């Protein structure tokens, strides 16, 4: 008998439908957290598309700063800026509230505050600078970094969904459900394998810094609000992606 959390090919389309704005087949969206193993697979595809956008910019003769900007902007557009939104809400909530309930209420508010603006500026600026330096090393280097970062950062999301309880009784993360350890392990395995194949020896450092960044956000979320939310997962993706890109520049 096949268990409900056994990976299925349709989970990839479900993951892309959830994590991007690309037109996708419906997939089995009812599987919820059972499809979380496919998040890094979706990341591989999204990072690859961003790498192709950068390659087209390079082919047109654009300099590295503009190539990096186009690749980053393309990635933001195809994901609907959902992770950036989570980062901004997380920054506003965790630093703008005095207690868990107030922090969660601020995170739910669609308005953006000073902490959110600053977080977005720093995140976008940091990734643009890293991609700038990576594209100066060549398209293959930058594309490998984009794909590795996209996969590792999306593998961190099911890991946190497995490790931390839900901080609120509703919201996107709650609707997806809890992730089983085996599902999180598959997601991590897919992303680690991809990073090692694409980035070579640099993939080892990328995996280390990805884990450290995810652990940092997890500890912060547990201390500030007692668990994870969809916004926390978005902030995790952003933090891990930035950490991976930085590690591959060094």
User: Could you tell me if residue 4 is inside a domain?
Assistant: no
172, 27 Cβ separation under 8 angstroms: no
SS3 label, residue 171:
coil
CA distances from 144 to 32, 47, 187, 199, 228 (A): 29, 9, 18, 6, 30
Task: Note if the pTM is more than 0.85.
Answer: yes
Domain assignment present for residue 237? The answer is yes
241 in a domain, yes or no? Answer: yes
- Could you tell me if 228 and 84 are in contact, meaning their C-beta atoms sit under 8 angstroms apart? no
Does the residue 30 lie in any domain?
no
Which strand (E) or helix (H) includes residue 221? Answer: helix 202-225
45 assigned to some structural domain: yes
Residue from 240, 3, 235, 227 nearest 104 by CA: 227
227 Rama sector, left if φ>0, alpha if ψ -120 to 50, beta otherwise: left
Kindly give the confidence (pLDDT) of every residue in the chain, 250 residues in length, as a single tens digit, with 9 standing for 90 and above: 344 678 787 889 989 999 999 887 655 566 777 889 999 999 999 999 999 999 999 999 999 999 999 999 999 999 999 999 999 999 999 998 788 889 999 998 888 899 999 999 999 999 999 999 999 999 999 999 999 999 999 999 999 999 999 887 765 555 656 789 999 999 999 999 999 999 999 999 999 999 999 999 999 999 999 999 999 999 999 999 999 999 999 7
What is the Cα–Cα distance from 62 to 203, expressed in whole angstroms? 28
Distance, in Å, from the CA atom of 106 to the CA atom of 110, rounded to the nearest integer, reads 8
Domains: count for the chain? 1
Q: Which domain holds residue 149?
A: 10-25+37-249
pLDDT at 206: 97
Token digits of residue 37: 């193993």
169 located within any domain:
yes
* Phi, psi for 166 (deg, rounded to 5): -70, 135
Rounded to whole angstroms, how far apart are CA atoms 250 and 119?
Answer: 23
78 falls within a domain: yes
CB hemisphere CA count around 125 (13 angstroms): 6
In a domain, 197, yes or no: yes
Q: Where are the alpha helices (DSSP H) in 60-179?
A: 64-78, 82-96, 100-108, 114-136, 139-163, 172-176
């Amino acid at each position: 008998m096949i268990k409900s959390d056994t990976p299925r090919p349709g989970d990839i389309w479900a993951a892309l439908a959830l994590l991007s704005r690309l037109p996708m087949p419906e997939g089995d969206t009812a599987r919820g957290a059972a499809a979380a193993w496919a998040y890094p697979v979706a990341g591989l595809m999204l990072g690859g598309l961003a790498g192709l956008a950068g390659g087209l910019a390079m082919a047109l003769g654009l300099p590295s700063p503009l190539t990096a900007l186009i690749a980053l902007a393309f990635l933001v557009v195809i994901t609907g800026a959902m992770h950036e939104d989570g980062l901004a809400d997380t920054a506003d909530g965790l630093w703008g509230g005095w207690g868990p309930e107030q922090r969660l209420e601020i995170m739910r508010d669609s308005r953006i505050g000073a902490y959110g603006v600053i977080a977005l500026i720093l995140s976008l600026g940091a990734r643009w600078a890293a991609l700038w330096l990576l594209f100066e090393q060549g398209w293959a280097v930058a594309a490998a970094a984009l794909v590795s970062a996209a996969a590792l950062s999306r593998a961190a999301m099911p890991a946190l969904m497995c490790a931390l309880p839900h901080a609120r009784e509703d919201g996107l993360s709650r609707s997806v459900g809890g992730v089983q350890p085996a599902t999180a392990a598959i997601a991590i395995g897919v992303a680690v394998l991809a990073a090692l194949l694409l980035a070579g020896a640099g993939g080892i450092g990328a995996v280390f810094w990805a884990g450290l960044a995810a652990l940092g956000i997890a500890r912060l979320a547990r201390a500030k609000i007692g668990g994870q939310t969809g916004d926390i997962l978005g902030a995790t993706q952003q933090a891990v992606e930035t950490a991976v890109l930085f590690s591959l520049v060094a």
